[in-house]
Structure 1
């Protein structure tokens, strides 16, 4: 698929299922929407990564290293997607402004969808699997 919309510097995938991460990574690569894909199999490591990227951004102010788009699963061990969002809320205003979050989940719970949409930085709620059509919609926003 040729990219007809926005091209991101980097995208982050957060899902405890490595197979889902691999499939989503291949889908994003085939859509050609970004230069870099950061993959995390846990929300805790993803938050630590973002904290480190914030520090690095301060040291390299003209370098764009934070992901512009984060695909976040809800149901994960140790720290679920909502706990990630609560921790994300504690990051800098610049980070929250820069990173758009898309919930990418197998949850069909209306409560999960409603709760996810209550966070201002959650831009979309998509049910797995990630499709090229959903990616097209994201880049055309």
Structure 2
């Protein structure tokens, strides 16, 4: 048989041969044309390939964050640590500086705030290159204000990360980097 056309509709694909449908298959994931057109386009193309550093002691939260980043189209490097100490050691080794960091506030031993104090004091976050987003389940105004007092912090996101909140901080990062 010769295949004369392949029609795609939503998440189903129909293959036609010799004028009649010979096979229909479900493809996953295959977005419909409507969903592709409605996808927000406010994230710079470079946003999908940036290096993100995630520092959070909760494995469940890290798992959800990874899923959200994937759903947002992130295809770049993602480096995860479950403690601030590990992240500080990584940065001290002169590894590739991340473009964007999501740092939990409330972690055992060393908090996210203490981590940022160390990073800024030691010059571990290249000014104008690495943007930090404080990431916490806390909605206390004092935590929000303290987070924004750090020069490297561009935002504060309450857990759990959503595609919309990622796109917002990603756009903020791109704007700051361009200036």
Q: So what's the TM-score if we normalise by structure 1?
A: 0.84
- Corresponding residue SS for 1:119: coil
Match of residue 19 from structure 1? 60
From the two aligned structures, give the one with the greater helix fraction. Answer: 1
CA deviation vs aligned residue, 1:92-141 (integer Å, no higher than 9, x gap): 37624321000110011111111111111100011111001111212222
Match of residue 48 from structure 1? 89
Deviates more, 1:31-40 or 1:111-120: 31-40
Mapped to 2, the partners of 1:135 and 1:102 lie a distance apart of 10
Mapped to 2, the partners of 1:78 and 1:32 lie a distance apart of 33
Question: Is residue 123 of structure 1 aligned with residue 154 of structure 2?
Answer: yes
Aligned-residue CA RMSD (Å): 1.9
Tell me: higher relative CO, structure 1 or 2? Use CA pairs within 8 A at least 6 residues apart.
1
What is the CA distance between 1:31 and its match in structure 2? 1.1
Match of residue 78 from structure 1? 109
What is the CA distance between 1:19 and its match in structure 2? 0.6
Q: So what's the TM-score if we normalise by structure 2?
A: 0.67
Pairwise mapping of residues 1-141 of structure 1 onto structure 2 (< 5 A)? Answer: 4-5=43-44, 6-7=46-47, 8-52=49-93, 54=94, 56=95, 65-92=96-123, 95-141=126-172
Q: Number of paired residues? A: 131
| Dislocated runs of 4+, deviation >3 Å | 1-4
Bigger-Rg structure (1/2): 2
- Corresponding residue SS for 1:35: coil
